[in-house]
Amino acid sequence: EIVLTQSPGTLSLSPGERATLSCRASQSVSSNYLTWYQQKPGQAPRLLIYSASSRATGIPDRFSGSGSGTDFTLTISRLEPEDFAVYYCQQYGSSPPMYTFGQGTKLELK
């Protein structure tokens, strides 16, 4: 089973700053199968990025994803007040079929 490790655990920044979140996999992950979600308190996760770098419908272009192999990054170019939330990466493995999630990075207001 592939384990996803996200860092940092908590990131304290101010609106307007740039956020860089990391997701490291214990084994190589197909870029097609790496996804990022945003979750706010009391809400379900919201799809941000799929296939490592493709923005989901309606996601602002300040969100971008990159990476390959075992190292993936979510970047928020200029933080807006509504961006403070928890971010999760997720991968899909096919043998056996399963999804695994990272433990999350909390982006908090400094």
Partner 1 sequence: QLQQSGPGLMKPSQTLSLTCAISGDSVSSNSATWNWIRQSPSRGLEWLGRTYYRSKWYNDYAVSVKSRMTINPDTSKNQFSLQLNSVTLEDTAVYYCARRPGNTPNAMDVWGQGTTVTVSS
Where on the chain is the footprint of partner 1 (CB under 8 A)?
32-33, 35, 43-47, 50-51, 54, 56-57, 88, 90, 92, 96-104
Q: How far is the CB of 18 from partner 1 (least distance, A)?
A: 24
The residue with tokens 């993936």 is: 72
3-state secondary structure of 82: helix
Buried b (16+ CB within 10 A) or exposed e, 48-62: bbbebbebeeebeee
Q: How far is the CB of 17 from partner 1 (least distance, A)?
A: 27
Q: How far is the CB of 83 from partner 1 (least distance, A)?
A: 19
